[in-house]
Amino acid sequence: MDKKDIIEALKKVYDPELNKNLIELNMVKNISEKNGKVKVEVALTTMACPMKNTMKDDIVNELSSLDGVKEVEVEFGEMTDIEKQSIFGKPESLNNFQNTTVLAIGSGKGGVGKSTVTANLAVTLSNMGYNVGLIDADILGYSIPQIMGIKEEKITVVDESIIIPISVEGVKVMSMGNLVGEDEALVWRGPVLSGVLNQFLTEVYWGDLDYLLLDLPPGTGDIPLSIMQEVKEAKFLIVTTPQVTAKGVAKRLGIMAKKTNTEILGVIENMSYFICDNCDEKHYIFGSGEGEALSKELEVDFLGEIPLLKEIRIGSDKGVLITKDLNSEIGQVYKQISEKIIKKS
């Protein structure tokens, strides 16, 4: 058995949080082999890495498949500060979104399904082959951990300055919900909220992203305004429903974006219609046409209608993203909307 074969096998083992293989990250510090027993020494970015056991299992599985390997031992250590810096760079350089399309998803009011739409767009873009990040910018009313099925997971922090996002369904996720207790109430004012969001943008190791989605709190408050004024790369998507009331308040968000010279990519109408199981007809429970009417009033594109499906509600409650299957009916709806976003961005 050649050492080169072991290295090639280890190239198939990825750090789930950094999305690069162990050889590429220079994590493998030593390899030894004697009488069919292989020992691999791996340096982690932090010994508190929550994916340590997953990586160990992957190493054992890959090396055990090689001819002549009878036993595999994995020993973990921690990288030096210089080694960590070679991966992450300096914290102030982590916020370079020059080659990243930043999509800020907002709504005029709560209850229109904005967070569900954002999460499913992120998963859809990832399934289409793009590198995607997702920030739960609704700091006080976070719901992304529940929707993405990562409510119990905690964020990894390296050297008290670099935050590693949680990776799920190919999407890197950052939410206050993964930093505090589930039932903890945060009583913060605008400047503090903006400071937290800035940390999410500057101190999180996002790596090379094609798209970074921001799930904004509803309305025209401090966070949406901060994004419009400070994140110059951001392009807005407005989520509404067919209700006249939802359209009216969503229009205010669009007007605010225009006043700050922020580009609006378009309007998405959620909960547009319900298809009856018995008659197979579309029923417009909340009315119809208001999403498209809003896009015309704001002079932006109408990106599409998303139906009201029981499966979406169940998936969001259980943390199972139904858009994982792009070939499903709802998967195709999100794919068509995503294709329009890609074309415009």
Q: Is 113 assigned a ligand-binding role in the annotation?
A: yes
Q: Is 108 assigned a ligand-binding role in the annotation?
A: yes
Q: Is the dihedral of CA 175, 15, 201, 326 positive or negative?
A: negative
Neighbours of 70 (CB within 10 A): 9
Q: Is 114 assigned a ligand-binding role in the annotation?
A: yes
User: Phi and psi (nearest 5°) for 262?
Assistant: -95, 130
Q: Is 36 assigned a ligand-binding role in the annotation?
A: no
Q: CB–CB of 11/66 below 8 Å?
A: no
Half-sphere exposure of 279 (CA within 13 A, CB side): 5
Q: Is 181 assigned a ligand-binding role in the annotation?
A: no
Q: Is 335 assigned a ligand-binding role in the annotation?
A: no
Rounded to an integer, what distance in angstroms lies between the CA atom of residue 110 and that of residue 299? Answer: 23
Cα-Cα-Cα-Cα torsion 286, 289, 292, 294, nearest 10 degrees, comes to -70
Q: Is 110 assigned a ligand-binding role in the annotation?
A: yes
Half-sphere exposure of 37 (CA within 13 A, CB side): 5
Residues in the chain: 345
Please give the annotated binding residues for ATP, written as ranges: 108-115
Please give the annotated binding residues, written as ranges: 108-115
